[in-house]
Chain A
Amino acid sequence: MTTPLVKAEKVSKIFPVGSMFGAKKYIKAVDGIDLEIGENEILALVGESGCGKSTLGRLMLALLKPSSGSVSYYINHKYKDVWSLKGKEFREYRRNAQLIPQDPYSTLNPMKKVISALTPPLLRYKIARNRREARKMAAELLEIVGLSPPEDFLERFPCRLSGGQLQRIAIARAISVKPKFIVADEAVSMLDASLRIEILNLLLNIRKSLKTAYLFITHDLAIARYFARNERIAIMYLGNIVEIGRTEEIIQNPLHPYTQTLLATVPIPDPKLARKRELPKLRSMEIPSLISPPPGCKFNTRCPYAESICEKKVPELREVKGRLVACHLF
């Protein structure tokens, strides 16, 4: 791994859950996570919905302020907490860390033409000197993301474009400022299956030309495997990372019981093989409430191998077989 570009250290995010009467309740969406993403690296973050992966992505982008812990960014040869950055440094960080949001239908302002989504960042960071140059660059960006001829798209309103086209424009906007780090938050999950590979390949090509690092958030292990091949993958469960390591190793030989269950749920196209496959016997299908998570390991209520220690002690991430696993079994 190269030098980390963005680092999360013991970062947590707690959201208050509104209750008019009685005691205020809290949800710990992200619970003391350590994470490092190197330059030009891909980290796929996989977990079921509600496990806090999008929150973690937003913490990495300084769109949310962590309740405790810190997110730091490598700037001017030093790691600096992104919330302590000021002026020029903060601007540089904002330029270098970008987001590709999940829902293509709400990522563009419905009242504005495509051109007005693409030119402001170009002008803001003085990448283009004037409007005419910005327009030319916007057209080039559309060409890069595969929307041609670009002149057909610049003057259109988002409501006249399809989901795939909108997602391409969202990608064009994110790469317009030449970021070093992109958080792709379920960037393909709202798209038709036929479009997904195209968009994934587009993102991979962008990585080649811009040398960007990706935090690729998804709930789909198959997509994570495709996107992060020869890179790293992290499995998240209820606000914690339970397993993190090389993609192929984890997919071939999952260690954490949760990873095993997650892998077992990936559908197999061959019905004969699918029938033969054994699913791990979960003790419960219910996801524990985030307001009052179970003590000890959060997976112990469902884990088929749970022992008494699992209900008492929170497992730390430990190195097992060249990767990190948070489980008492190892």
Chain B
Amino acid sequence: MVCIPKLREGKIMRGLKSFLRYHILEPLKILASDKRALVGLSIVIFYVLMVAVGRLFIPLDLTPHREKRYLGPSWEHPLGTDFAGRDILAQIVHGGRDVLPVAFLTGFVTVAIGTAIGITSGYVGGKLDLAITTFIDIFLTIPGFPLLMVVAVWLLQSGIPINIFIIACVLSITAWAGLARSVRAQVLSIREEAFIEAARCLGLSRFHIVFNEILPNVMPYIAINFMLSSVSAIYSYTGLQALGLIPYEPGTWGAMINMAQAYVGTITGTGCWYVLAPSITIIVLQVGLVFLSQGIDKIFNPRLRER
């Protein structure tokens, strides 16, 4: 009787160890073998740290200093100052707090909807497939960003409390369609494979066939799309901010671009640091995610790994 709790503990420890080994350590090893993925991972980790921890070290001071307007980089202001003489680096560190959560949440929502609809359509087939495919086609014909603008304005006026999740849903409003279509196409070809037939012959459940046989085969594709939709979500989100269509908080990257455009300083060239800083910040993050996505492919696809 005494040894039972010990046994349980041993089991949990073993489970934890195998989880660490197969889901953390092995993927990291695979990532480490690819230099580009490693660069991408470092960039993404740097941004996460910057947004999460950086603001504790770099305080945001928004009091205007007329005498310091449009300064270039210096030790005091590494990225220069804006139209009111405030530090740009501090604004960038503080302005990105929403971007990463919104990007990843959008990626998640897009991928979840796209995969669910694509797999259902491809696996069930028949009339349901026809109905879903038609529905997808309609969504594919809608131009994404203009619709986003309309929905964003409607959302602002409707008085619905806006949080990150709602923004993510809005941003994936058209993004899921393309993914759903290609997942469907992949499922259509995978379900004719011999290993699906073997699973059916062994009497394995539909649940098993969908989640253990088909899904792993679509997974590399889904993972890459997760990254890519996060990247395009960054564009859309900061774009909507720059246009002032999503809750306008001064200090976000998008808002900084907006301000930079609005002020003459940019046009004359004296304030180029002000417009370049947020733009480059956004671009580097996207490049990092794209690099990382290629490594992610290797994690999910054993055929791509070297040995």
Contacts and interface: CB of A to CB of B under 8 A. Distances in A.
Contacts of B204: 120-121, 124
Interface string B277-307: 0000000000000000000000011110001
A138 to B, nearest CB: 14
Contacts of B200: 63
A97 interface: yes
Interface residues of B, number: 23
With a 10 A CB-CB cut-off, give which of B203, B204, B219, B307 has the most chain A CB atoms: B203
Given A102-B194, A103-B194, A160-B307, A111 B201 contact: no
Contacts of B301: 111
A129 interface: no
Contacts, number: 71
A111 B219 contact: yes
B205 to A, nearest CB: 8
A121 B202 contact: yes
With a 10 A CB-CB cut-off, give which of A102, A103, A121 has the most chain B CB atoms: A121
B208 A120 contact: yes
Contact of A111 (B197, B203, B205, B217): B217
B217 A99 contact: no
B201 A94 contact: yes
Contact of A63 (B195, B201, B217): B201
B197 A124 contact: no
With a 10 A CB-CB cut-off, give which of B193, B194, B208, B300 has the most chain A CB atoms: B194
A95 interface: yes
Interface string B189-212: 000011101111111110010001
A170 B300 CA distance: 23
Contact of B202 (A98, A102, A106): A98
Given A110-B217, A120-B212, A160-B307, A99 B195 contact: no
A106 B193 contact: yes
B213 A101 contact: no
A107 B193 CA distance: 8
B269 interface: no
A48 to B, nearest CB: 21
Contact of B195 (A97, A106, A159, A160): A106
Contacts of B247: none
A109 B195 contact: yes
With a 10 A CB-CB cut-off, give which of A101, A109, A159 has the most chain B CB atoms: A109
B193 A120 contact: no
With a 10 A CB-CB cut-off, give which of A91, A94, A111, A160 has the most chain B CB atoms: A111
With a 10 A CB-CB cut-off, give which of A63, A103, A106 has the most chain B CB atoms: A106
Interface of A: 61, 63, 90-91, 94-95, 97-99, 101-103, 106-112, 116-117, 120-121, 124-125, 157, 159-160, 170, 173-174, 177
19 contacts: A63-B201, A90-B203, A94-B203, A98-B201, A99-B198, A101-B198, A102-B194, A106-B195, A107-B194, A108-B195, A111-B216, A111-B302, A121-B203, A121-B204, A124-B205, A125-B203, A157-B302, A160-B307, A174-B198
Given A108-B195, A124-B203, 14 more contacts: A95-B202, A98-B202, A99-B201, A101-B198, A106-B194, A110-B217, A110-B302, A111-B219, A112-B213, A116-B212, A117-B195, A120-B199, A121-B202, A173-B198
